[in-house]
Chain A
Amino acid sequence: MTEKDKTIEIRWHGRGGQGAVTSAELLALAAIEEGKFAQAFPSFGPERRGAPVLVFNRVSDVNPIRARVSVTNPDIVVILDPGLIYITDVTSGLKEGGVLIINTTKTLVDITSELNGPWKLAVVNATSIAREMLGVPIVNTTMLGALVKATGIIELESLTEPLKERFGARAKGNIDACRKAYEETEIAELSGIVEKPRKTFETETFPSWQELLPGCVVTEAGNAKQYRTGDWKSERPVLDHQKCIKCGICYLFCPEGCIGQNEDGYFEANLYYCKGCGICARECWTEAIKMVEEE
């Protein structure tokens, strides 16, 4: 098989609301615009804002795309949120010689100590670029710039029309963010054995059909509390005790119901469940709550 015959497979890791689906759509549209064959599709589910999501692309220079199945052995992995590398096995199935692209504040060296393998690694501080160029930490278009720089899968210019079509009046900021990320992305060739972050990922085991109770009844009441929705956040609320008047408005507005009153009367979010939506900070009229980016 020649290089041209190959289908490049991409897996995007993002969080609900970060625009990973849009990234993959724009990439496919740009590739098709160039005369290539391309596909973009999300893994459908009940995900909400902040929940880890997967999106997939396939791009081929000459062949129509037939596979209608998730990408499990990607050539390229793009990670929109740095926190995901600790809760998801982001390099799972990544091919030898593949490309790993991460939005992170960390340097190449720091990342390599956590996430090594026989890959090309690209890093960019996309959150900072997006804040600067767009005013919001939505990194989808920014990460497209990093992807193009690290892989050359399409021409950067090919994104202009799809971006205009998609964002209308807001297209310029997105085009600028994309270009800035293209310029700032740093790339290194890694080598050696695969290393994953310290966290050992829980391998989920599912019951056989014979183990299910009649009608799939769940006998453990309230087991939703085991669900660590705190893993979904990219920002966390920090309370300034000087400004807080203990009014409890944050408690009333928290959609997750994860804010409780402590012994001293302050209302605090339980970070095991807090999804980092920022509604408490927005509603706090003494501005005692600030949203701070997760490490």
Chain B
Amino acid sequence: MSDTHSHSVAFVRTETLPQLPPPASEAGVVKWMRENLFSSIPNSVLTLVALYVIYQLVTGAFPWMANGIWNTNSLAECREILDGATGACFSVITERWNQLLFGFSYPSEFYWRPGLAFLLLFVAAAPVMFFDLPRKLLLFTAIYPFLAYWLVWGGTIYTPLFALLGIVIGYLVYARFVKDSFAMGFFGGVIAAFIAWFIGGYIVGAIAPAEPFLEAVQSRDMGGFMLNMTLGVVCVSLSLPLGIVLALGRQSDMPIIKWICVVFIEFIRGVPLITLLFVANVVLAFFLPPGTTFDLILRVIIMITMFSAAYIAEVIRGGLAALPKGQYEAGDSLGLDYAQSMRLIILPQALKISIPGIVNVAVGLFKDTTLVSVISMFDLVGMIRGPILSSTDWNGVYWELFMAASVLFFVVCYGISQYSQWLERRLATDHR
């Protein structure tokens, strides 16, 4: 049929035409813009409004940033150089950078110590965060808290050493008894560790050298972004195990333990962090034995840890509740006891489900560490509002300082949330 047609009908082409590109309006940038930006009238209006907003933002910020002055000693000098033109005075950041990071009373010759501790934090966190790395690195992670404490606070090395020793003894006792029952191993380990610390305290007091290798720095000398980082890292890492315990307690069948956990969690979650910081600042001293002096940072760490533990507990409770009942029954049917089925079956899955929530709490907690400036501790925000803005040189530089603070916080928080998204993808075991 077809060949008769092609021969008999004159207007049927016999050869294939070369392929042409699609019309300009149906390809490339133009098509993309038509589909994405100007597909309808309301859409076009939205696009124009958005472009106007971006235009305003850029034209407002760009000259200010580009004209920025980085090397003067006071705001007056900056204004002189700018001579009425729009421009930022970034020199406050260059001049006070160390104060922004370390506070104003941390001895400047020791800045390398928190700096080193910060760098080592990445080494210590790496095997936890990226579990493809060799497992032996976890040994360094275990040592890190003591090392970091020694680097930042200084003093005799025997204190962190004996603290570490107590934990090692506790672990050995745990490993000896855990074969009989988890509870016995756990409580035995805790008691052994406490005994070791108690004895260790006396030994350290006796053998501590008068001139330690790293000079001791008082907690009240800490400040700046270092204080935010310290509070954030310490409180998150402490509140995670506490939160797991609270969540398990809240899900427990034992009514008394359950109610203790419920009351604790609901009370902490019902009040703002500021009131808890007030408690740390003015009330906690009333509840301690007369005559004890308790470091303010330690008090704040206790309160913030309790605060975030309550939130993490709720997140993990959600994870526990989200597990199908069959998982619990599977543990029972294998003959595992409570501790075994929790450790081997339930918690790994529940924690995986809770990762986004835990990271949310961690990021929120890190941001909330700025609240300590309200009880007149000189963290990053406290440094800016207090010593720097009230100094005669820099009175009136608001934008530059708050921009620096915002950038520091943004980098850390955004980094953590990006990591958590990567972790979620990495841990996704469901095949979709």
Judge: A and B partners, yes or no: no
Binding site for B on A (CB under 8 A): none
Question: Which residues of B are in contact with A by a Cβ distance under 8 Å?
Answer: none
